[in-house]
Chains A and B, each alone.
Chain A
Amino acid sequence: MQVLYFASIREQFDIEGEQIECTADTANVQALIDFLCEIHGEPWGKVLGDPNLLVSVNQELASLDAPLSASDEIAFFPPVTGG
């Protein structure tokens, strides 16, 4: 699955995104967050643990229990500030 990061989150991680293999460890968004924190360490834990964090799955806002599959595009971003 494709994981994307935007704005302040992209800057803190210093990557725009990454390809993550879909396994039993990444069955839903929360599991994916736990997996990313485990493989990267900090600052992933702190940033992805932020209660204001927003997540989308296939470009639709999603909750932490949203199920994931191999072809999904998941994005993590802060609250929006356009306009």
Chain B
Amino acid sequence: MKRFVSIQTEDFSIELETNQLRTATPEVGGIATFTGLVSDLNRDQKIESLLLEHYPGMTEKQLEQIIDQAQLRWNLLGVRVIHRVGLLHPRDQIVFVGVSSRHRKECFEACQFIMDYLKTQATIWKKESSQEKSEWLSARESDRIEQQKW
């Protein structure tokens, strides 16, 4: 299986990432992708920017471990995970998860599995700024519940 993990400040192209998965091997029968964006609204607060910080080294290691777990559960041909850090604004892309496999079910499930684990395990933190204030976000119970379903 071909895999790619990157924590980066630069933006990414969904098309280029999908093409990497598509052209890697002729066995590919389907690709599922998820792209997370900065939304301008959170808990009724108008968001102006989002600052993302991570633990260099540990984050990459954790993402590799999450992909290892996905690979044990599903027959995957390719996985690409990109997470941006630094200062982002509404409409900006934050995270990309792309999974290729022979069949769609494996793609869909593995893509969701990787996102659910990424949200609850990868050492990344968000600080949200509105006109009134800046604050570090708290972990959501709903994210933990989603991850524990697996």
Q: Which residues of A contact B (CB under 8 A)?
A: 4, 6-8, 11, 52, 56, 59, 75, 77-83
Contacts and interface: CB of A to CB of B under 8 A. Distances in A.
For B122, B125, B127, B139, the residue with the greatest tally of chain A CB atoms inside 10 Å of its CB is B125
B124 A82 contact: yes
B55 A6 contact: yes
Contact of A6 (B118, B125, B139): B125
Interface residues of B, number: 29
28 contacts: A6-B53, A7-B127, A7-B136, A8-B125, A52-B139, A56-B58, A56-B123, A59-B55, A59-B58, A77-B123, A78-B139, A79-B138, A80-B119, A80-B120, A80-B124, A81-B125, A81-B126, A81-B136, A81-B138, A81-B140, A82-B59, A82-B118, A82-B124, A82-B126, A83-B83, A83-B94, A83-B115, A83-B118
A52 B36 CA distance: 26
A7 B116 CA distance: 21
Closest 9 CB pairs of A and B: A82-B124, A79-B139, A83-B119, A7-B125, A59-B58, A8-B136, A81-B137, A81-B126, A82-B122
A80 B138 contact: no
A59 to B, nearest CB: 4
A16 to B, nearest CB: 11
Q: Is the interface of A mostly helix, strand, loop or mixed?
A: loop
Contacts of A8: 125, 136
Interface of B: 36, 52-55, 57-59, 61, 83, 94-95, 115, 118-127, 136-140, 143
Given A80-B120, A81-B136, A82-B118, 18 more contacts: A7-B127, A8-B125, A56-B55, A59-B55, A59-B61, A75-B55, A77-B123, A79-B138, A80-B123, A80-B124, A80-B125, A82-B52, A82-B54, A82-B95, A82-B119, A83-B36, A83-B115, A83-B143
